[in-house]
């Protein structure tokens, strides 16, 4: 594999693990606000991001490349509201989308066909990630912060599978 591409994959492993750490922080914040359904949703998201990082880890292993783990920065820990935490989620997912697109462009530029095909799954996944966050944001915009509707949404988010 092209060395720049290997480095970019290593960077993205760090980014995926940072995403997991960020979502775990959001789960902790949600717990502190007595929103266990929101916390559950973010825990599921945490597990997904770990699995994304591990997919990239295994891809490099399968290609005979060395993984160099980088430091993961501390995530944000304070949010002003349920709407704010999901606004930050969408903002973060858009950043991840841009990173995945750049990685895919690099794989294409260096002619790494296996990398291009592998990254297609992540490109499709990012469409779903942004859609899910946007849907919750639009729902939150329709409800008052301290209304019963927030409790109903919390209960709905608690039903998310995968965690």
pLDDT one-digit tens code per residue, 35-92: 999 999 999 999 999 999 999 999 999 999 999 999 999 999 999 999 999 999 999 9
Q: Is residue 124 part of a domain?
A: yes
Mean predicted lDDT score pLDDT of the chain: 96
* pTM score above 0.85: yes
For position 127, which CATH number holds? 1.20.1260.10
Average pLDDT for residues 96-107, to the nearest whole number?
98
Q: Tell me if 133 is assigned to some domain.
A: yes
In this structure, what token pair is assigned to residue 11? 């960077």
What number of CA atoms fall less than 13 Å from residue 155's CA on the CB side? 5
Give the per-residue pLDDT at 45: 98
Per-residue pLDDT at 96 exceeds 90: yes
Q: How many domains does the chain have?
A: 1
pLDDT value at residue 147: 85
Measured CA to CA, the distance from residue 160 to residue 163 in angstroms comes to: 8
Whether residue 162 lies inside any domain: the answer is no
Percentage above 70 pLDDT, the chain: 99
Is the pLDDT at 144 greater than 90? The verdict is: no
Distance CA 121, CA 123 (A): 5
Does residue 33 belong to any structural domain of this protein?
yes
pLDDT at 163: 59
Task: Say what the pLDDT of residue 37 is.
Answer: 98
Q: Is residue 8 part of a domain?
A: yes
User: Helices (DSSP H) in the chain: which residue ranges?
Assistant: 3-32, 36-62, 82-109, 113-141, 148-157
pLDDT at 48: 97
Domain assignment present for 163:
no
**pLDDT bucket at 16, cuts 50 / 70 / 90:** very high
Residue 101 lies in a domain: yes
- Expressed as residue numbers, the domain containing 62 is 3-157
């Amino acid at each position: 594999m092209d060395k720049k591409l290997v480095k970019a994959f290593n960077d993205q492993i760090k980014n995926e693990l940072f995403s997991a750490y960020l979502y775990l922080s959001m789960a902790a914040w949600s717990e502190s606000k007595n929103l266990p359904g929101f916390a559950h949703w973010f825990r599921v998201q945490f597990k997904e991001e770990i699995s994304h990082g591990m997919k990239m880890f295994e891809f490099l292993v399968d290609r005979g490349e060395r993984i160099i783990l980088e430091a993961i920065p501390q995530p944000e820990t304070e949010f002003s509201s349920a709407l704010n935490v999901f606004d930050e989620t969408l903002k973060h997912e858009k950043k991840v989308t841009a990173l995945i697109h750049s990685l895919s462009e690099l794989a294409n530029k260096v002619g790494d066909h296996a990398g291009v095909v592998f990254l297609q799954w992540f490109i499709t996944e990012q469409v779903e990630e942004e859609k899910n966050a946007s849907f919750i944001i639009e729902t939150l915009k329709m409800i008052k912060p301290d209304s019963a509707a927030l409790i109903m949404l919390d209960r709905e988010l608690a039903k998310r599978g995968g965690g």
